[in-house]
């Protein structure tokens, strides 16, 4: 239908994204610069992400807490790199309760500082370690250029903050949380992310090492989708987070932090969407199954709705998230298109003939048209729908993995790297050049080091930029 | 134990509250004026409240969404009563991204205005109604006097916002949400709240009618624990929320809003706590059962822990939230006291003798000492613990109900009212006096009209203040 048409991805991917986010009712514009309204359909997608992560955090011993939105300005300044990284982006409260504040309050851009201060109180002895805390909250970063979900002035996220007795334990935690992010992305979001370490110039302000999961979007650009930071003793020293060890000596803790945000909603949209609209992975889809009853008159309606009500009850009892489209005045074809645009993984069509045949039509979103449709018996509908949802989930993951692998290219020279990046792919290159060289590549190609993948080819190679020996390959790509 | 001792309620209830909130690790002080840190134990209590409410909201057709934290200052001013009510309490961002903002941004004290603006876009026709939205978020009100959970500068809450075609539907929604709050408070929090209507001077800034659930705390003071507002067409007119009706004529919507906050954590503490500490209702308790293994040596430890692990697995599989206290270097007596102070509803003690007898000791928090202890067989432990949890929940509710009913007194004169209030009770009085009279009662007695209860005696009476005829009784009490 004309009203659902979006700009094709091939014409302008960026425009496609901006259109579909609003058309599919994931978000709406807001009167506040750089902020969106997350509409119910988008928020339900975020709830799915949140619940899947929260379960994993709790299973690994983390507990949720909540720290103040406001941070005294002086706190930010205690860790030198941290304040340098964040100060250009701060929103500052200067007036409260009708009076000018003596010390301005910063709206948290992240909470290492205020949580660090609390940790210094909570931790006394080695018995208090490890301390494993997570917070679900909103944060504010005054970004110059914003895009719905991908980069907004205010966004929702979780930020984990932990303290440990040793560097080894902190590093293990940092990598454990990276694994949890990757497992979530792969298992729930059907996005085959690459795990890796950030380069010096891309790491978090105040971290010793930053790890990332990088996802390939439909236009082959990279999206940093979650990060996990080993903060070493930087914040422990800035905030005096110390513990008495078993020999009764004072030691600084080793801390970590890790975050994943509503940006993941954008990742799901851009990794899976097509010209028709969204394609939501069944495990995260707010609506996994939409039922479209088809009838021409009241008699048919009674017949069809009796079957629909029965099937709905069965499917709901099995925990399948479903919606019955009862909109009046809209033809089935319109509804089919509408739900395809909204990315619902499976559609059930049921009319009077289906009822008399004891069948329904199931149509899968990942295979449009007749090829994706099948008649199934109403008996055993739960198994049929469940199997189909699993199949859609798997095939979306497989498709995204193929797409990713087809578009990562090993390159042996800077020229090759440029060509690959120019053509929109990711270049994998041996790298041992300097931070300045990395900046030069960025200036010349628009690509950054997305990460040094944890999975390395092994051995040594020749740095594509300097011709010197290199220990690692890096992934270069243009990114959001 | 001395380290757990708190000021007795009878000595100073207020001090008792302030001490227990921190001692039980519900919250910690923060460096930001009037803000607390919600620690994991307190946050888990809030998660229980949130989940129980969220389920009820979704079952009644509401969907969650998320609106910006910041509200343009001009929005607040569009509804005259609203801005008057909230402007003294606002926190204002004037600087962002290193620059002075052209229009200051208010940190939301509540979101009627920014959501009203969105509703005016989203609602076109009667087909878009009712629109039923809820938001879980933080809000900021710069309060002069703050107390942990009860009144903090920043707090967490949910705010529901709905739009309807008729006044009747809006009123029905307002009352439905009041019922949901009351059902939650009674069923989950074991607090026998009174449902009622606020007086003119106590109603929400911008509302036509505000309903409330009022709870009696352990010191007999009242705590407003949740409110539901019929906003009439006030915000619809201020934000131009209109719809085309079935005759194609433009009409203003009728809107509602309703909120319940982390204040409920304080309500649970103050309604149920005793001199020993917290008493948490089993349905909301983060830890429903604490298991304290008792052994003197490694042999006994092996025997006891084998039984503990088996029982733990059984109980966890049944969905019981439990914790095994394995702290070394602490004696059982210390642990018993510690968990009593933290309000865990049921404690299991298990030592070598219990293992050989195939029994455990179960101790209920609501009946301290020997009277609350029983030996039960390890066979059927799930049923025994579940039954005991239900029994604790019920007895806590019954006890709170008795306490409430014993302390509400019908009064027939202003003198009687003063005496009842002076003695710390709630006075129920026929009332038809003016707003100014109500203010005078407050000045003279410290009591306010908590509500006109929905449950009325019927008939007419004589106003205790004016001696004129009155249609309703009001509840007067001192309040938090």
Q: With a cut of 70, which residues of chain B have pLDDT below it?
A: 1-4
- Can you give the pLDDT at residue B197? 98
Q: Where in chain B is the domain with CATH 3.30.930.10?
A: 2-272
- Can you give the pLDDT at residue A80? 84
Shortest CA gap B29–chain A (Å)? 9
Shortest CA gap B232–chain A (Å)? 24
- Best of A28, A63, A69, A78 to substitute, by most chain B Cβ atoms within 10 angstroms, is A69
- Can you give the pLDDT at residue A82? 85
- Can you give the pLDDT at residue B1? 38
Nearest to B142 among A90, A96, A104 (CB): A96
Smallest CA–CA distance from A61 into chain B, residue: B40
- Can you give the pLDDT at residue A1? 38
CB A445 within 8 A of CB A476: yes
Q: Do B37 and A118 touch (CB under 8 A)?
A: yes
ipTM beyond 0.85? yes
- Can you give the pLDDT at residue B4? 54
End-to-end C-alpha distance for chain A, whole angstroms:
31
Q: Do A97 and B142 touch (CB under 8 A)?
A: yes
Q: What is the pLDDT of residues A298-342, one digit of tens each?
A: 999 999 999 999 999 999 999 999 999 999 889 999 999 999 999
Q: Which CATH architecture has domain B289-388?
A: 3-Layer(aba) Sandwich (3.40)
Q: How far apart are CA B342 and CA B285, in angstroms?
A: 10
Q: Where in chain B is the domain with CATH 3.30.110.30?
A: 408-477
- Best of A93, A119, A120, A137 to substitute, by most chain B Cβ atoms within 10 angstroms, is A93
Q: Where in chain A is the domain with CATH 3.40.50.800?
A: 289-389
A289-389 carries CATH number 3.40.140.10: no
What tokens were used for A423? 């053509």
Q: Exposure of A198 by Cβ count < 10 A (0-12 exposed, 13-18 middle, 19+ buried)?
A: buried
Q: How far is CA B32 from the centre of its chain?
A: 23
Shortest CA gap B409–chain A (Å)? 39
Nearest to B94 among A63, A95, A138 (CB): A95
Q: Provide CB contacts within 8 A for A89, sequence distance 6+.
A: A109, A141, A142, A143, B97
Q: Where in chain B is the domain with CATH 3.40.50.800?
A: 289-388
Q: Do A154 and B68 touch (CB under 8 A)?
A: yes
CB A461 within 8 A of CB A430: yes
Q: Do B95 and A91 touch (CB under 8 A)?
A: yes
Nearest to B32 among A70, A121, A138 (CB): A70
3-state SS track over A296-364: CCHHHHHHHHHHHHHHHHHHHHCCCCEEECCCCCCCHHHHHHHHHHCCCCEEEEECHHHHHHCEEEEEE
Q: With a cut of 50, which residues of chain A have pLDDT below it?
A: 1-2
Sequential DSSP letters for B406-455? HTEEE-SSHHHHHHHHHTT-EEEEEE---HHHHHHHHHHHS-EEEEEESS
The topology (CATH level 3) of A408-477 is Translation Initiation Factor IF3 (3.30.110)
Q: Which residue, B172, B161, B63, B154, is CA-closest to B112?
A: B161
Q: Is the pTM of this model over 0.90?
A: yes
Unique residue bearing structure tokens 């005078």: B440
Q: Do B72 and A104 touch (CB under 8 A)?
A: no
CATH number belonging to domain B2-272: 3.30.930.10
């Amino acid at each position: 239908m004309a009203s659902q048409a979006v700009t094709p991805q091939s014409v302008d991917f960026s425009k496609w994204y901006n259109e579909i986010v609003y058309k599919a009712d994931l978000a709406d514009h807001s009167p506040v610069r750089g902020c969106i309204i997350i509409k119910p359909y988008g928020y339900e997608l975020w709830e799915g992400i949140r619940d899947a992560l929260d379960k994993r955090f709790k299973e690994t011993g983390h507990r949720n807490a909540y720290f103040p939105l406001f941070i005294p300005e002086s706190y930010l300044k205690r860790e030198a790199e941290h304040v340098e990284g964040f100060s250009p982006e701060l929103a500052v409260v200067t007036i409260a309760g009708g009076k000018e504040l003596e010390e301005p309050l910063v709206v948290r851009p992240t909470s290492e500082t205020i949580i660090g201060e609390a940790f210094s109180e909570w931790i006394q002895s080695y018995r208090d370690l490890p301390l494993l805390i997570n917070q679900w909250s909103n944060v504010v970063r005054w970004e110059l250029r914003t895009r719905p979900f991908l980069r907004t002035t205010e966004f929702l996220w979780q930020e984990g903050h932990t303290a440990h007795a040793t560097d080894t334990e902190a590093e293990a935690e940092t990598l454990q949380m990276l694994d949890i992010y990757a497992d979530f992305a792969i298992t729930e979001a059907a996005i085959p992310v690459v795990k890796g370490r950030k380069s010096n110039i891309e790491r978090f302000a105040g971290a010793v090492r930053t790890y990332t999961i990088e996802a390939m979007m439909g236009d082959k650009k990279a999206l940093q989708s979650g990060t996990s930071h080993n903060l070493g003793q930087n914040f422990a020293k800035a905030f005096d987070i110390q513990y008495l060890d078993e020999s009764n000596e004072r030691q600084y803790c080793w801390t970590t932090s890790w975050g994943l945000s509503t940006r993941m909603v954008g990742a799901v949209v851009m990794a899976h969407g097509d010209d028709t609209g969204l394609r939501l992975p069944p495990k995260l889809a707010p609506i996994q199954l939409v039922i479209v009853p088809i009838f021409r008159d009241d008699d048919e309606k009674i017949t069809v709705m009796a079957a629909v009500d029965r099937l709905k009850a069965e499917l709901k009892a099995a925990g399948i998230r479903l919606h019955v489209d009862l909109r009046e005045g809209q033809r089935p074809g319109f509804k089919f298109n509408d739900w395809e645009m909204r990315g619902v993984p499976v559609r059930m069509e049921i009319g009077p003939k289906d009822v008399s045949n004891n069948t329904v039509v199931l149509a899968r979103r990942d295979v449009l048209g007749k090829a994706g449709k099948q008649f199934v018996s109403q008996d055993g509908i739960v198994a049929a729908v469940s199997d189909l949802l699993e199949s859609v989930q798997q095939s979306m993951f497989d498709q995204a993995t193929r797409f990713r692998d087809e578009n990562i290219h090993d390159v042996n020279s800077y020229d090759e790297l440029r060509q690959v990046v120019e053509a929109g792919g990711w270049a994998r290159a041996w790298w041992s050049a300097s931070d300045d060289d990395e900046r030069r590549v960025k200036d010349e190609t628009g690509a950054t080091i997305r990460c040094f993948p944890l999975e390395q080819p092994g051995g040594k190679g020749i740095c594509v930029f300097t011709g010197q020996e290199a220990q690692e390959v890096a992934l270069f790509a243009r990114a959001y």
